[in-house]
Amino acid sequence: MARYIVGLSGGVDSSAVCSLLLEEGHEVYACVLTMQHEPCCVPGRKALERARTLSQALGITLVERDVSELFARSVVSQFVDEYACGRTPNPCIVCNASIKFAALDHVAAELGCDCIATGHYVGCTRISPHRSLAVRGDDPIKDQSYFLYRVDPRVLSRCRFPLASVNKADTRAYASQRKLSAAEAKDSTGVCFAPGGDYHEIIRLLRPELLEPGPIVSEEGELLGEHAGIACYTIGQRKGLGLSGGPWFITHIDPVTRVITVAHGTQPHARSFDLSDVVLWDELDRDGGCLVQTHYRAKARPAHVTIVGSSALVELDEGSTLAADGQSCVLYRNNTVIGGGYIRLQA
């Protein structure tokens, strides 16, 4: 029997993990993180109420931690700043590494817990006595290894992910059978710290100038229309441009002039691109070979990666892939996460 701290969001996945660990005979504590106050409350009143209700029903201690100041500084500010630079950020990646797993590791030490557990659909493999790496979950639709590439392997070595080999339908069925209060809770969508999940609202609150309209031009410089603010768009976007004679795809966003450039007919793909703020948790193959995934739903592709300091050059072995400035490129060895960095296509 071990003592666990479970990251409890109030959703069905983390609720099921608490119940599973109890059934295995472990001592379970739960930790819920309040990351921001109204009007942008995470996990939100309903989620917090579900976490409290579940803890009472299961007879486990719930630890509540307010990390809102750090969250605002490390996640929200960076999120808005990236849009101001014409990039498309992924705040979940920053949050997992800087907030969630760091906080859970701290609470685990406070309570003398042996292990950390969460409801992520991801596996873990040990590469040394005190270092582990994330591994793709068995369910390819729910696999969340992409979002954990910046989490310190020393923290991952203390983690267990009970849903690694489970699909979402089975999790809901289990939660329903056990009459867990979150069994029918909806999956979280959108940006969790934005009112109503709409990230435009948080930008409107903090940087309204990023939603000022500007011109949409062709690659030849022809004025085609007007956009609703650079923060509403991303490289490769096709829908919502309001242009006739399409399809049109965004190829460049200029944060200074607020000009959005589009190309006709072909989605912009890259054969090679740069990465910044690179983390590498395990060695690449001798020739720099690995698999790279450039966004959450992307297919991992064979590539060669040349790392210089905290930067890297990614060169695909064949073909091309959609690479949006600001998104993460995650490096895999087969199904194991070995590192990654932020895609940089423009200054």
Indicate if 290 belongs to the active site. Answer: no
Q: Measured between alpha carbons, how far is 257 from 17 in angstroms, rounded to an integer?
A: 49
HEC string of the chain equals CCEEEEECCCCHHHHHHHHHHHHCCCEEEEEEEECECCCCCECCHHHHHHHHHHHHHHCCEEEEEECHHHHHHHHHHHHHHHHHCCCCCCHHHHHHHHHHHHHHHHHHHHHCCCEEECCCCEEEEEEECCEEEEEECCCCCCCCHHHHCCCCHHHHCCEECCCCCCCHHHHHHHHHHCCCCCCCCCCCCCCCCCHHHCHHHHHHHHCHHHHCCEEEEECCCCEEEEECCHHHCCCCCCCCCCCCCCCEEEEEECCCCCCEEEEECCCCCECEEEEEEEEECCCCCCCCEEEEECCCCCCCEEEEEEEECCEEEEEECCCCECCCCCCEEEEEECCEEEEEEEEECCC
**Residue 115 appears among annotated catalytic residues:** no
- Measure the CA–CA gap between 128 and 148, rounded to whole angstroms: 18
Identified catalytic residue from 18, 40, 92, 95: 95
Q: Which of 124, 192, 290, 329 is catalytic?
A: 192
Q: How far apart are CA 36 and CA 51, in angstroms?
A: 16
Q: Which residues pair with 134 in a beta bridge?
A: 124
Active site residues: 95, 192
